[in-house]
Chains A and B, each alone.
Chain A
Amino acid sequence: MGLFIAQLITGLANAGALFMVASGLSLIFGVTRIVNFAHGSFYMLGAYIGYTLMQVLPGAVGFWGAILLAGIAVGVIGMLVEILVLRPVYRAPELFQLVATFGVILVVADLTLMIWGPEDLLGPRAPGLRGVIRIMGEPVPKYDIALLVITPIVALLLWYLIARTRVGVLVRAATQDREMVGALGVNQAWLFTGVFALGCGLAGLGGALQLPKGGADLLMDFNILTAVFVVVVIGGMGSLPGAYLAAVIISVVNVFGVTYLPQSTLVLIFVVMVLVLMIRPYGLFGRPEVAGEHGQVGEPEKPIRPAGTQVRLLVAAGIATLAALPLYGSSFSQVLATDILIFCLFAASLHFLMGLSGLVSFGHAAYFGGGAYVAALIVTHSNSPMELAFVLAPIGAGLGALIIGWVCLRLTGVYFAMLTLAFAQLLWSLVFQWGEVTGGDDGLVNIWPADWLNDTTVFFYLALILCIGGILAMRHVAHSPFGYALRAGRDSDRRAEATGINVKRVQWLGFGFAGMMAGLAGGLFVFSKGSVFPNEMEIARSFDALIVVFLGGVKTLAGGVVGAATFKGLEEVITRFEYWRLILGLLIIFVVIVMPEGIVGTARKWAERAGWLRGEETRKRKAREEAA
């Protein structure tokens, strides 16, 4: 009983930081419709800034003052980020802002490393709250008790702000219909900035508050992000009470999990999440998203046309040049080309999903890594030939995608996306924690291809054939009746249903197909490297694919491939620098601001303007000339 209560208290105390970060994310999403992936980074900044301030400011006043100041400082940083990075891209297509927040993650990660160094920082103890008190004989840290009091106070203040002040009224109104709020004379730009600053400030506060418990380290940004997504999904996007309740549930489950099921704490959390979603698909306090509810208008989509002769010739020439690589390139260049090809296939599979079906997956690495692990596990644990393991990689990943897709497709929009991320994290934690089978953090090694393939050049050709073949297959599907059905479902759910298309079913199959293709890439990957580690499934990998697809251009068929090739090539060059994340992050932000239609979309526009390609511009000019 004593232990039970002690653990309950620890769980409730842990919920504090989680609640603050999650409520910030939720607020920002409600008003700006941006899923702020950089939210974990602001949490991390809060911890580091708080740490430094605690070193400078003395005593108890200094300690608590440092926490408060850290929150304010992070709020100000968030404000700057909103004004400098997000404001220029609000008019870009929905979700494009995501990429900008990826850029922010990278920049913050490297700046933190630069300023505070790579060592984990041990959080200072709170003055006067060192040590433990005993509750029914069990030790409970005094600081936990303090958090138990502080969190509800913060929650209450936040509730007061949102429920009782003019700012809160405007925030809630904007969450529902921001265009109308603008028409009533409210400057949305400042409302957005204010909410973004507030949300980031909360994350910073959370980061600083947990210092005595968890300290500060460079992995905090991604580590909290998963938990926060789970909290937001369970609690319901945009609901403060939901965020609070969900944070408590998750933290308590986690604490008990650590005691009773130490091997599967992470998995346990996701099980809870899936259970909640089975009963309440939009979370405990959430409501379904209504399309068009927020008065957003987008450019009408340009129809995707089959490639013209010009483009076909260009592509054929490109493939021929690539196929001849072993004639003029070094063995290293072939390895690099294999890497790029595999990544292109992976990105193209996500691009297929997003571009054609409009489903945004935040966790596509699950199927890439999943395929790799299927093959690796088969090789490790049974004496199957490599060929069989290789064939089973896409099949396994495809089946996995069908199962996960079936659950996720109960939701739509951003809920769907977050759920895919949660499932990806579930698989990742399975792989990470189930050491006896998967090797855990040490990964699976010695996964080499069969003898006849065990040669750089031969494997390069295998990758070339399968990757180009896979990409062409996806193009083919895009122009098949199935592809049209997917697009019809994307553009108008109801109209597609009316023409007899079972939209959910088509989307489900599309999800499975994309997963299978990612699995194929994963299979190639594991045999080209000879090993696989859990990080092939982690969020960062999923984000890589998302960045690539957005940067390439979601609305163009070539976007995924061009983006992937550019990204991998760039990474190859940039990673030679010490602070390559900083460079890459700034580059991403720059591209987002300058090329809101992605590389391919922007290149096409320029080419059209220059008269190299026929399109919008030329057609308009012709029409004008004819009229004159």
Chain B
Amino acid sequence: MLELSDINSFYGKAHVLNDLGFSVARGQVVALLGRNGAGKTTTMKSIMQMVVPGSGSVRYNGQDITGWPTHKVAKLGLGYVPEERRIFTDLTVTENLEVGRQPARDGTVQWTEEMLFELFPNLAERRGNRGKALSGGEQQMLTIARTLMGNPSFVLLDEPSEGIAPVIVEQMAHVITQLKADGLTVLLSEQNLHFARAVADRAVIIEGGTTKFEGTLAELNAHPEIRDAYLSV
């Protein structure tokens, strides 16, 4: 469904992704793993064309989307949940969801506010509050809910378990399983295996902007030396 080949991405002159390539099949949950600074966020931004790759191609459903404007990529059904959350702190929860709202595409779940409040009960209680009044965990839920309002068929989650309480991490895992059951494809990034083990079917490990491993979690478990070489514990 999503295919990256020979991606090279830069920030100014800093060469961050180096001939990076991997693919994600429809309906899978794939974990993009790598240490601090490995290039996970840059990979996600390169998929969304928020960082336009200098060379290489990103194909989505067979279509080359390299160099497209970001909003068009989003309109195709790719939903991006940024690491820093980037919720609109001056807007209320409901308004944040409104920004994300897009018409449904064929074959995607059509989310409504009420469905999302069911999925994230904490948000329901705070729907009239401004983003800045939310806790870290609530903000994390809001940023996912906001992206789901766009009815994506493919969700990019950048370090969804980072910096939130264990209870909420569990809730996140539940949400991802739910999304998978609804037929969505998910690419999530993590620095370690803990969270990925609970939700992912496959893993891609990157280091220094290059793919070091691509395979199922079972394969990864069979090779602890790979994990030790490229991941933090």
Contacts of B86 in A (CB 8 A): 177, 180
**Using a CB-CB cutoff of 8 Å, which residues 137-193 of chain A contact chain B?**
166, 169-170, 172-173, 175-177, 179-188
**Interface bits B43-85 vs A (CB < 8 Å: 1, else 0):** 0000010100000000000000000011100110000101000
For chain A, the bracket of interface size reads 20 to 34
Q: Find chain B residues with CB under 8 A from A181 CB.
A: 99
Contact (Cβ within 8 A) B99 A184: yes
**Count, chain B residues at interface, CB 8 A:** 26
Does B230 lie at the interface of the complex (its beta carbon under 8 Å from any beta carbon of A)? no
Q: A300: which of B12, B82, B100, B102 is its contact (CB, 8 Å)?
A: B12
Q: Is the CB of A184 within 8 A of B100?
A: yes
Return the 5 tightest CB-CB contacts between A and B, nearest first: A185-B74, A300-B12, A173-B99, A180-B86, A182-B70
Query: 8 extra interchain contacts, Cβ-Cβ under 8 A, other than A176-B91, A179-B70, A185-B71?
Result: A172-B91, A173-B88, A173-B95, A176-B88, A176-B89, A182-B69, A186-B71, A299-B12
Which residues on A sit within 8 Å (CB–CB) of B96?
173
Question: Is B150 part of the contact surface with A, judged by Cβ < 8 Å?
Answer: yes
CA distance A183 to B149 in the complex (A): 13
Alpha-carbon distance between A117 and B46 when the two chains are bound, in angstroms: 55
Q: From A298, which residue of chain B is reached at the shortest CB distance?
A: B12
Contact, CB under 8 Å: A169 / B71: no
Provide the bound-state CA to CA distance between A300 and B11, in Å: 9
Given A183-B48, A300-B12, CB of A169 within 8 Å of CB of B75: no
In the complex, A300→B13 CA distance in Å? 9
| Bound form: Cα–Cα A177–B74 in Å | 16
Which B residues fall within an 8 A CB radius of A?
12-13, 48, 50, 69-71, 74-75, 80, 82, 86, 88-91, 95-96, 98-102, 146-147, 150
Pair count A-B, CB < 8 A:
63
Which residues of A lie under 8 Å from residue B12 when comparing CB positions?
Answer: 299-300
Q: CB distance B99 to A169 under 8 Å?
A: yes
A184 touches B90 (CB 8 A): no
> Pick the contact of B150 from A166, A185, A299 — CB < 8 Å?
A185
Which of A166, A183, A185, A300 has the most chain B CB atoms closer than 10 A to its own CB?
A185
A194 to chain B, nearest CB (A): 14
- Show 20 A/B contacts (Cβ-Cβ < 8 Å), sorted by A: A166-B101, A170-B99, A172-B88, A172-B91, A172-B95, A173-B95, A176-B88, A176-B89, A177-B88, A179-B70, A182-B70, A182-B71, A183-B50, A183-B82, A184-B99, A184-B147, A184-B150, A185-B71, A186-B71, A300-B12
Instruction: Provide the main secondary structure of the chain A interface.
Output: helix
Q: B45's closest neighbor in chain A, by CB? A: A183
Q: How far is the CB of A492 from chain B (nearest CB, A)?
A: 15
Expressed in whole angstroms, the Cα–Cα distance for A291 and B196 within the complex equals 35
Give the complex CA separation of A175 and B95 in angstroms. Answer: 14
Task: Mark contacts of A25-62 with chain B using CB atoms, 8 A cut-off: 1 yes-contact digit, 0 otherwise.
Answer: 00000000000000000000000000000000000000
B contact residues around A299 at 8 Å (CB): 12
What is the bound-complex CA distance between A169 and B88, given in angstroms? 10
CA distance A166 to B12 in the complex (A): 36
B37 to chain A, nearest CB (A): 18
Shortest CB-to-CB span from B104 to chain A, Å, is 12
What residue of chain B has the Cβ atom nearest to residue A190's Cβ? Answer: B71
Assess the B89–A183 pair: CB atoms within 8 A.
Answer: no
Residue of B nearest to A297 (CB): B11
The complex places the Cα of A175 from the Cα of B50 at a distance, in Å, of: 18
Q: Which of A186, A188, A300 contacts B99 (CB 8 A)?
A: A186
For A616, the closest partner residue in chain B by CB is B13
Question: Is B88 a contact partner of A184 (Cβ separation < 8 A)?
Answer: no
Q: How far is the CA of A176 from the CA of B74 in the complex (A)?
A: 19
Identify the interface centre among A181, A183, A186: most chain B CB within 10 Å of its CB.
A183
Tell me, rounded to whole Å, the shortest Cβ–Cβ distance linking B75 to chain A.
5
Q: Which listed residue, B71, B101, B146, touches A188 by the CB 8 Å rule?
A: B71
Nearest-CB residue, chain B, relative to A184: B100
Least CB distance, A408 to chain B, in whole angstroms: 27
Cβ–Cβ < 8 Å partners of A170 in chain B: 99
A181 to B88, CA, bound (A): 9
Expressed in whole angstroms, the minimum distance between the Cβ of B203 and any Cβ of chain A is 25
A172 contact from B48, B69, B90, Cβ within 8 A: B90
Q: For residue A8, give the distance in angstroms from its CB to the closest CB of chain B.
A: 34
Residues of B within 8 A of A166 (CB): 98, 101
Given the contacts A177-B86, A180-B86, A185 and B102 also touching, CB distance less than 8 Å: yes
Q: From A180, A187, A188, A299, name the one whose CB has the most chain B CB atoms within 10 angstroms.
A: A180
Q: Which chain B residue lies CB-closest to A301?
A: B12
Contact between B95 and A183, CB atoms less than 8 A apart: no
Residues of A within 8 A of B95 (CB): 169, 172-173
